[in-house]
Amino acid sequence: MRKASFSQRVRALIGARPRLSLALALGTAAWFLLPIDTSLLLRALLAWNVTAWTYLIGLWLIVFSTRPHHIRRHAVREDESAALVLALVCAGSLMSVAAIVIELALANHGAWHVALTVATLLSAWLLLPTCFAVHYAHLFYLADPAKPILQFPDEPAEPDYWDFLYFSFTIAATNQTADVGIASARVRRLVLLQGMLSFVFNLFILGLTVNLAAGLLGG
């Protein structure tokens, strides 16, 4: 089988991920519609927030509306681009946090920058475990049903997105896997990656919270 070219992969990604495509389009529009005197760093942060929140809303609409027997269909359609999307989200989230640190160092801690900081950190923190949860769900439903890669305590026949969100957000908030068993080396590596990223994010959030509080109280 001939390997797909980069342009073919991009077209496949756009076709399989309409929510991501819409989020990227709106973020790009926000970048170009901002006033010309807006700094590149601030422009990037605002465009990130438009993209991230649009994509988050789209993902959560899927969570609320998708039944377990439909998750497998989503998994098959989006499987080829899943790793690429997860890598893009991880990279974008890390860069957004780094950008907000630089922006706060260069700007005054006014109400506008506090609101931007909160929105950026919240979007990055929510986006990571949400995307990991969707990826865990897709890996689960693409695996052999006789050998589940995740073992939930009540052993539901068809776990829904909420089960995978529970698993993912527990890792993000506590760096633990709670009461869900892992029976796949691939998933263990993903959990390790998510745990490391979550640890870094939680440190950033703690540090920025202290920094903002000191700035507001001192200013």
Q: What is the pLDDT of residues 114-147, one digit of tens each?
A: 788 788 888 888 988 998 998 898 889 888 888 8
- Identify the pLDDT of residue 104: 67
On whether residue 2 sits in a domain, the answer given is: no
Domain count, the chain: 1
On whether residue 99 sits in a domain, the answer given is: yes
pLDDT exceeds 60 at position 45: yes
Q: How confident is the model at residue 69 (pLDDT cuts 50, 70, 90)?
A: confident
On whether residue 35 sits in a domain, the answer given is: yes
- Identify the pLDDT of residue 182: 92
On whether residue 85 sits in a domain, the answer given is: yes
Domain encompassing residue 188: 9-218
DSSP conformational letter for 147: S
On whether residue 93 sits in a domain, the answer given is: yes
pLDDT top residue among 216 and 199: 199
On whether residue 174 sits in a domain, the answer given is: yes
CA atoms of 121 and 67, how far apart (whole Å): 30
> Do residues 66 and 160 touch, judged by C-beta distance below 8 A?
yes
CA atoms of 208 and 118, how far apart (whole Å): 10
> Do residues 28 and 47 touch, judged by C-beta distance below 8 A?
yes
CA atoms of 17 and 195, how far apart (whole Å): 26
On whether residue 4 sits in a domain, the answer given is: no
On whether residue 3 sits in a domain, the answer given is: no
- Identify the pLDDT of residue 1: 42
CA atoms of 173 and 166, how far apart (whole Å): 11
